[in-house]
Amino acid sequence: MAGFHLVVTFWILLFLAYPIDAFPEQRQPSWSELKPYQKIILQPLEQNWDAIEPAQKKKWLNITKHYLKKTPQEQQRIQSHMRSWNELTSEQRKQARERYKKIKKLPADKRQEVKQKWRKPDELPENNNKP
């Protein structure tokens, strides 16, 4: 029995000795490998798709599974979000992810308040510096 525990402990320590990066993310499809409906939905990301990290591709592909069940307004919002995201630099994306993590830690009512501000940009105060 002690031998069994020793073997299990060995394998656990061996597993923990390797950084998470040593286990590569599952490969995600290139643009040419996407299904036609995915290409239509993800069209705003086409130009940079092959440079997107596997974890991000996985998230975008997950969106395509539920996209057609969304209302036209929600679909339009998703498309707009994709276009905006695609225009960000990698540093800006990193900052956006960090802000998102902070927002996720907020109480539900505060998160809802932030979401409302994001979803209704036309209701935000006008920028008086505009010509």
pLDDT in tens, 7-36: 545 555 545 555 545 445 578 999 999 999
* Dist CA 119 CA 77 (whole Å): 8
- With respect to residue 126, please indicate whether it lies within any of the assigned structural domains: no
- With respect to residue 131, please indicate whether it lies within any of the assigned structural domains: no
State the average pLDDT over residues 97-112. 86
| Percent of the chain's residues with pLDDT above 90 | 33
DSSP 74-127: HHHHHHHHHHHHHHS-HHHHHHHHHHHHHHHTS-HHHHHHHHHHHH-GGGSPP-
- With respect to residue 111, please indicate whether it lies within any of the assigned structural domains: yes
- With respect to residue 108, please indicate whether it lies within any of the assigned structural domains: yes
Q: What is the pTM of this model?
A: 0.59
pLDDT band at 124; cut points 50, 70, 90 = very low
Helix, strand or coil for residue 27? coil
What was the pLDDT predicted at 19?
52
State the average pLDDT over residues 25-49. 91
The total of structural domains in the chain comes to 1
- With respect to residue 127, please indicate whether it lies within any of the assigned structural domains: no
- With respect to residue 122, please indicate whether it lies within any of the assigned structural domains: no
What was the pLDDT predicted at 85?
86
Residue 65 C-alpha from the chain's centroid:
14
State the average pLDDT over residues 37-54. 92
Range of the domain at 89: 28-116
